């Protein structure tokens, strides 16, 4: 019996696992602030609701993209690119929120910077290796 396996390189393995773990952690951390009235919400400080909701919902797409990348699906490359673009748009809107005097936490700036960097690397690598 001859089974067909995708030719999965260590790079594809790595970006897939990073995307999935990043997604699961994003869902957990966002959900704890959004849905549990406890220490995580207090520790979040001056969080910006639209950024928090975007990140929480995006976490599900991170997992989906990671699974698709694991199986080297072309649609997952486009999803990774869409995640990057959406993240950059929300980051820009967050910047406008800050510029207009809105309250925020500096760690949100760092987190959005990290998200932008991670998804630019994932989307770029996936584009070069899968498409």
Q: Would residue 3 count as lying in a domain?
A: no
Is the residue at 42 inside a domain?
yes
Number of folded domains in the chain? 1
Secondary structure of 76-104 in the HEC alphabet? HHHHHHHHHHHHHHHHHHHHHHHHCCCCC
1 in a domain, yes or no? no
Residue 5 lies in a domain: no
- Asked if the structure places residue 23 within a domain, the reply is yes
User: pTM score, two decimals?
Assistant: 0.92
pLDDT at position 16 is 98
Range of 100's domain? Answer: 10-130
pLDDT digits (tens, 9 = 90+) for 56-104: 999 999 999 999 999 999 999 999 999 999 999 999 999 999 999 999 9
pLDDT grade for 5, boundaries at 50, 70 and 90: low
CB atoms closer than 10 angstroms to residue 37: 8
Residue 104 lies in a domain: yes
Q: What's the pLDDT score for residue 3?
A: 47
Position 105 in a domain: yes
End-to-end Cα, the chain, rounded Å: 29
Instruction: Please state whether 101 falls in left (phi above 0), alpha (psi between -120 and 50) or beta.
Output: left
**Residue 99: inside a domain, yes or no?**
yes
d(CA 62, CA 3): 28
The answer to whether the CB of 93 falls within 8 A of the CB of 64 is no
């Amino acid at each position: 019996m001859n089974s067909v396996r995708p030719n999965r390189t260590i790079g594809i393995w790595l970006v897939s696992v990073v995307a999935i773990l990043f997604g699961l952690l994003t869902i957990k951390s966002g959900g704890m602030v959004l849905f549990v009235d406890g220490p995580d919400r207090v520790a979040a400080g001056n969080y910006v609701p639209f950024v928090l909701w975007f990140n929480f919902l995006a976490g599900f797409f991170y997992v989906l993209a990671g699974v698709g990348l694991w199986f080297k699906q072309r649609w997952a490359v486009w999803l990774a690119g869409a995640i990057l673009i959406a993240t950059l748009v929300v980051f820009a809107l967050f910047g406008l929120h800050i510029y207009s005097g809105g309250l925020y936490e500096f760690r949100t700036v760092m987190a959005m910077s990290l998200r932008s960097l991670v998804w630019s690397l994932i989307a770029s690598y996936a584009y070069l290796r899968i498409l």
